Structure formats: C-alpha cells, structure tokens
Amino acid sequence: MQKNNSNSSRIAKNSILLYIRMVVVMIINLYTVRIVLKALGAVDYGINDVVAGVITMLISLSSVLSTATQRYYSSTIGDNKISRLQDIFSTSINIYFILSLVVIIFGETIGLWFVNHYLVIPDNRINAANWIYQFSIFSFIFTFLQVPYSAAVIAREDMGIFTVISTAECLLKFSAALLLFVIPKDRLIVYGASLLLTSFLIMISYVLIGYFKYEECRYKIQTERKLFRDLISFSGWSLFGSLAGVGMSQITTILINLFFGPLFNAARAISFQFNFALSSLTASFLMALRPQMIKSYAEESYLYLNKIFNLSNKVIYYGLLIVSLPLIFEMNTVLMFWLTKADPETVVFSRLILIYTLIMSLNNPISIIIQAIGRVKEYHIPVETITLLCVPVTYILFKLGFPAYSTYIVMILAAIFSHFIRLICLKKFYKAFEYSQYIKSFIIPALIITLLSSLLIFIISKSSITSFVRLPVIFCVSALSVGSLVLMFGLSKSEKEDIIKFSIYFKKKIGLSS
C-alpha cells in the first residue's frame, strides 16, 4: 500500500510537470503556426506539409521503437534487473543505426522520385520542395537517433528533464518561425534548414544527458540475438499499428494533394494542429502513467493497474471534452482569432478532427496494457487491419467525386469500430478487465455527459452575444458543465478521493496551502 501511494505521488508530480510543459508547448506551437502560415502563405504552407509528410510517414518508426524501448526499460526496472538495461540500450542503438541507413536509402530513391513525379507542386516551387524534402530526411534521422536516450529519461520518470528539453525544442521552432521575417532568402528553405538545426541540437542534448546521467546509456558491442529479435518483433507489430495511423494521416494528406491541390493541404495541416494540441494533452498524462502501468503489470499489482486504467480513461476523455466542445461549436471564431481567417474547408476539417481525436483518446490506456503484456501481434493485426482500410476507402470516395472532408468521416467510423476490437483484445489478454464495469462506470456516463454538455453549449452558441465575448463564456460553461456532471455521476467514490488527494498534493507543490 505504501509503495502504491508513493507511485501515485510520483504520477501526480510527473503529471503536473508534463501538464505545465504541455500548456507552454501548445500555446507556443499554435502561435508558431500563425507566424509560419503568414510568412509562407497558404501554398508554401501546404507544400511543406505534404512534402515533409512523405518523410513524416517514417516517424512512425521513431515513435514505435521509442515505445518498445521504454517498454523494455520499464519492465526491466520493474523486475529489478538493472544490469540488463545496458544490453537493451546497446541493442536498440544497433537497431536504430541499421534502420537509419534504410530510411536514407528509401528516402533518396523511391521517396525522392515520388515527390518529383507525383505530388502536385507549382513548377516554380519544385526546387524549394526538394530542399524541404532533404531537410526532412535528416531531421528525421536526428530525431530517430535520440530515441534510445529519451526513452531512458522517460522510463526513469525524469519528467523534469523531458519537460525542459521539449520546451526548449518548442522555443527553437518558434525562433525558426521568427527568422522567416529576418533572413531575406526563400522562406520555405530557411524554415526547413532551421528545423533541421533544431533536431540536431535536441539530439545532442539527449545524448549528453543520457551519457552522463544514466549508467546504462553506454554503448557496448552487443551480439545477443534473442534480445535483438525480441525488440524487432515487438517493434515490428507495433510498427504495423503505427502505419495504420500514418495511413489515415500522411497518406491521405498525399491523396488530398493529388485530388484537390496544396491549398486543401494547408487546410488539412491547420486542422491537424488541433489534433496535435489535444493529443499533447493525452500524451503528457500518459507519459507519466506508462512506466507505472508497465511496472505494475510486471509486479502483478493488478488491482493498482486497474485503478490507474479506470481513472486514466476518465481524466483523458473528460479533460479533452472540456476543451473540444467550445472549439467544435465556435470553430469560426477560434480560427479568426488564431489565424485571422476561417475558410469553410478548414472549419469543417478542424471540427471533424476534434471528434476523431476524442474517440482515439480512449485507446491509449488499452494499448499500454497490451504493450505491458507483450501481445502486440495479436492486438495489432485485427485492430489495425480495420484502420488501414481508411486509405483505399478514401481513395475510392475521392475517385467517385466525394468532397475532401469525407476522409475525416472515414477516419471517425474506423476509430469507433476499431475501439470495439481493442476492447475484445484487452479482455482476451487481460482477464482482470470487465466489460460491464467499463461500460457502466465509463461509457454510459461519458455519453450522457457529452450529450448534455453539447446541448447546453449549442444553445449558447446560437445566442446573439458577440462572438469574441461568447467564446470565453462557452469555455467557462464547458468546464463548469462537464466538471459538475463528472463529479455527480462520472466518478466513483474512490476516484473522487484520489482527485481530492491529487488537488491537495498540487496545492502543496505550488504553495497554496500551509
């Protein structure tokens, strides 16, 4: 019990750090988008999104291997096999180096050919597009090679270090945006070069911290084939899952470019900033939870794991709901305030991506438990086969003349259906999970709270109040309505007690209580 209380305090502390980081990063990122869009213009902004997207597809490799490395780090720490950590680190370095070479070969052949022969890019911007493409390849490589070190930081739950570095990265990208108004060169090329330098500096920061702070972050020649196969196998099936998400984002971005042109890519890129912002909320919370959930499973502390799982579902969904509802109903006003313009495509895209993000947020705690169990193959095959169908379905709809936003509808439907598959997999591999408890304590209350809060906000959104006054009012109403309804019947008694403990801990940390 004392250990679980200590773990809960660590989760609370890390959550506070990560949420503070998230708020700072989100605000800076959103303002950076406004600056970049103004400096580049809609066409160049769309070109940057679709060209960089060809390489962004490969970032799934980075995120998947990061998750795999963290999983093995955390599980090993949970089993108290500290001497094993250096073997995991060295093996992951070998894997990352090999895959980096593969990415370069792929990027400089098939990828380069595709950019120059298939993407819809104005003739006078082909040269700039090629520069952006090269910068994107090596930015990815730098981001890729930092993962064994950043994974060690996260597995060790040193979220203060992660917060500082990720905030610094955000500030560097903001500085890159400001440079666009200072350097009298092709702004698209300048922006790509600045992002490349940022990736390099962040990689160096993680390498130095990992090397000097963690004993396991010392490379040694590693010839253990079983560990190599285990990491590749775990990563391979997780990669299959990640590629499904990429198919719904980057490949459909390319399809939109081919069927509708770079202006629609700009609208899509803007809409995905909302996805990024809300996903950052989720990722910050999950980053504090993931090590504890994996360690709890390794220690067979299933009651504590269930407690974290149930509470995390509610905190994630209701937290995102409070932010999403005002954005959905007041998207025109939000875009006018943020970017000083709100074209119809961007409004529709942004509203739909918020709905999609809300649904997808429910999957994260499930995925963490599956990763802790290690049954990623049996999980990802049925789940992501459904998800991957988004690409051919979107292509068929575009060929039949359906509008660009139809791809978002496909994404939403796939996310709903795949969630049911995820729950079936969770029950199959984790016997402590109960459908009835999940539906009774979370799904039914969540639907009621969503419908009631949406109805209230819809009524206010149709009032005659000036839009720039109505927006903050709706945000306040959203927080009050969702928060009140959650306290009334969205949380169990024990969960309410946990929230109170967290509030007391938070007040002590910021000096609001004696």
Return d(Cα 321, Cα 314) in angstroms, integer: 10
* Tokens, residue 296: 């709890």
What pLDDT score does 129 carry?
87
What single-letter amino acid sits at 498?
D
- End-to-end distance of the chain based on CA atoms, in angstroms? 26
- Residue 513 is predicted with a pLDDT of 47
What's at 510, amino acid-wise? I
- Closest by CA position to 74, among listed 362, 345, 374: 374
- Secondary-structure breakdown of the chain: helix, strand, coil percentages, each rounded to the nearest 5: 85, 0, 15
User: What is the rounded CA–CA span in Å between residue 171 and residue 168?
Assistant: 5
What pLDDT is recorded for position 399?
Answer: 94
Q: What is the mean pLDDT, run by run of 10 residues, along the chain of 514 residues?
A: 50 58 71 83 78 62 62 65 75 82 84 82 86 88 84 76 83 88 83 90 92 82 73 62 66 86 85 82 71 78 85 87 91 86 89 93 86 80 83 93 93 92 91 89 93 94 81 90 89 76 57 46
Give Cβ neighbours of residue 355 (< 8 Å, ≥ 6 apart). 324, 328, 412
How far apart are alpha carbons 270 and 37 in whole angstroms?
9
- For residue 21, the model assigns a pLDDT of 64
- Whole-model pTM over 0.75: no
Residue pair 299/30 in contact (Cβ under 8 Å)? The answer is no
What is the CB-side half-sphere exposure of residue 303 using CA atoms within 13 A? 3
Are the CB atoms for 43 and 124 separated by under 8 Å?
no
Nearest to 364 by CA among 321, 316, 292: 316
